[in-house]
């Protein structure tokens, strides 16, 4: 199935929003809760599955939904369709500060592997699936990197990242990154999780016990501020619960 051809515009800097322009009959698929606004004539419908295979039966939809549930995502996606005759727009934003990456799937080889919470929205026809890394190290120690999303299609897909996005091109090379800082990578790049170093480095280094290792030839996108790291800092500096107010007698 060929993806719908949608136009778009990204607004903002630290707190970005993508506005998708839909021609009559065009549809964009989004994660539940990602929509910020939509113009008249746009109708939305919550569906089980991504709609990439219109002939998929109930069993197939339930299987896909089950994999999304394992990933911790909603088992449903929301489809926004322009039912009018004129162009209409809908806006989608990430739930935390960062950058929205606009990726033409046809230009990057038709497939992308990304962190499990990275997908924001995409043109109808994009297959949104779950992939489990087969390497032993990733399976046992992967943490954030164990369960990944896989996007396939030939249209536009929008991926969310925390903080600033850094794009790296690998040419038969290896890159090691913090597991939470990985956003996505293209075909030709192999992913694994390995120990960060010796015992002293793991205990006192402050960089975590494991690192993601990306090897091969392809493109890798990284994020400077993973949501998990930001949440940890907020909790670390939050006032202790259970305190009592001190007032005058």
pLDDT tens sequence across 130-182: 886 655 444 444 444 467 889 999 999 999 999 889 999 999 999 999 888 99
**What SS3 string covers 164-175?**
CEEEEEEEEEEE
pTM beyond 0.85: the answer is: no
Q: With bands split at pLDDT 50, 70 and 90, how would you rate the model's confidence at 99?
A: very high
How many whole angstroms separate alpha carbon 65 and alpha carbon 202? Answer: 37
Q: Is there a contact between 180 and 228 (Cβ–Cβ < 8 Å)?
A: yes
pLDDT tens sequence across 30-77: 988 899 999 999 999 988 766 665 555 444 555 455 555 555 555 678
**What CATH class does 7-237 carry?**
alpha beta
Residue 201: phi, psi to the nearest 5?
-65, -40
Question: Where do the structural domains in the chain lie, given as residue ranges?
Answer: 7-237
List of residues 6+ apart from 40 with CB closer than 8 A: 84, 88
Q: Is there a contact between 79 and 124 (Cβ–Cβ < 8 Å)?
A: yes
Q: With bands split at pLDDT 50, 70 and 90, how would you rate the model's confidence at 2?
A: confident
User: Positive or negative, the Cα torsion across 147, 191, 121, 48?
Assistant: negative
Q: Which residues pair with 90 in a beta bridge?
A: 20, 38
């Amino acid at each position: 199935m060929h993806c719908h051809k949608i136009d778009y515009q990204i607004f903002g800097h630290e707190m970005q929003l993508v506005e998708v322009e839909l021609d009559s009959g065009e549809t964009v698929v989004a994660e539940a809760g990602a929509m910020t606004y939509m113009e008249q004539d746009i109708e939305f419908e919550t569906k089980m599955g991504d709609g990439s295979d219109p002939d998929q039966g109930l069993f197939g939809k339930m299987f896909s939904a089950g994999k999304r549930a394992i990933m911790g995502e909603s088992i449903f996606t929301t489809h926004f369709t322009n039912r009018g005759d004129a162009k209409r727009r809908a806006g989608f934003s990430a739930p935390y500060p960062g950058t929205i990456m606009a990726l033409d799937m046809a230009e990057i080889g038709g497939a992308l592997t990304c962190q499990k919470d990275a997908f924001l929205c995409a043109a109808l026809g994009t297959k949104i699936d779950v992939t489990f890394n087969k390497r032993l190290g990733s399976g046992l120690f992967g943490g954030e990197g164990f369960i990944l999303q896989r996007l396939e299609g030939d249209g536009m897909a929008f991926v969310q990242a925390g903080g600033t996005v850094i794009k790296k091109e690998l040419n038969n090379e290896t890159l090691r990154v913090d597991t939470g800082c990985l956003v996505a990578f293209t075909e030709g790049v192999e992913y694994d999780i390995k120990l960060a170093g010796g015992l002293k480095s793991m205990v006192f280094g402050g960089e975590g016990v494991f690192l993601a290792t990306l090897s091969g030839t392809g493109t890798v996108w990284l994020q400077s501020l993973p949501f998990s790291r930001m949440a940890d800092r907020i909790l670390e500096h939050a006032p202790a619960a259970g305190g009592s107010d001190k007032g005058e007698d």
